[in-house]
Amino acid sequence: MSAKVVVFDIGGVLIDWQPHLAWLDELGTREAVEVFMARIDFPARNLRADGGALFADLASELDDAEDRRRLVEYVGNYPKTVRTRIEGSWDILDRLKASGVEVHAITTWSAETWPRGIEAQPRLADAFGVTVVSGQEGTLKPGARIFETLCDRAGVAPGDCVFIDDGAHNIAGAEAVGMDGIHFTGPAALRDALAERGLV
């Protein structure tokens, strides 16, 4: 059966997330920010936040007081990191919705920074029928539970869905629960992949 529901990832598909911008004003250069981020292992700590941990708790694990302060301040600085939309992807989303295709989202995003992301990008609040935020659920892609949560809330079957994500591992997770998957590499390729499925 052909997919009739499109499920978007958000970061890297609809929004260009640049975490270094949270500290660029303070530290002055991208190189200085990257040294800081490497020192605190920001990617690993951020992933834990995306899974439900609080940034204050993650910061408390750090030895250096300035590092702790900067990580705590990430939440307040977060809107700086998501200022840019991937316009071609939004054009596709709008075209899908205009033609009556059901559109939802599953995003790897901290529960603390999600409201700040909506402040920066207000369309995130109402662009989707159902939005599943990993940090609010305490579960991450590519595990089955987050995909099952979306299906339960949206009242759809996995086989009805095509899932779009810039992470190949997340596409594999979606396919493992029975969804169709499109690995996002850019709006033009996404448009082609959706056209092949008769969706745009």
60-103 residue pLDDT tens: 999 999 999 999 999 999 999 999 999 999 999 999 999 999 99
How far from the centroid of its chain's Cα atoms is residue 131's Cα? 10
The yes-or-no verdict on residue 1 having pLDDT over 50 is no
User: 149 — phi, psi (to 5°)?
Assistant: -60, -45
**Residue entry with tokens 């089955």:** 144
Query: Under a CB-based contact definition with an 8 Å cutoff, are residues 24 and 37 in contact?
Result: no
177-187 residue pLDDT tens: 999 999 999 99
How far from the centroid of its chain's Cα atoms is residue 61's Cα? 25
Cβ atoms < 10 Å from Cβ of 21: 18
Check whether domain 5-15+84-196 has CATH 3.40.50.1000, yes or no: yes
pTM: 0.94
147-161 residue pLDDT tens: 999 999 999 999 999
Q: Which residues, including other chains, have CB under 8 Å from residue 9's CB and lie 6 or more apart?
A: 105, 106, 107, 108, 141, 163, 164, 165, 166, 167, 170, 184
Sheet with 180-183, strands from edge to edge, namely 131-133, 102-107, 5-8, 161-165, 180-183
| Residue 173 structure tokens | 């997770």
Side chain identity at 190, as an amino acid letter?
Answer: L
pLDDT at 3: 65
6-55 residue pLDDT tens: 999 999 999 999 999 999 999 999 999 999 999 999 999 999 999 999 99
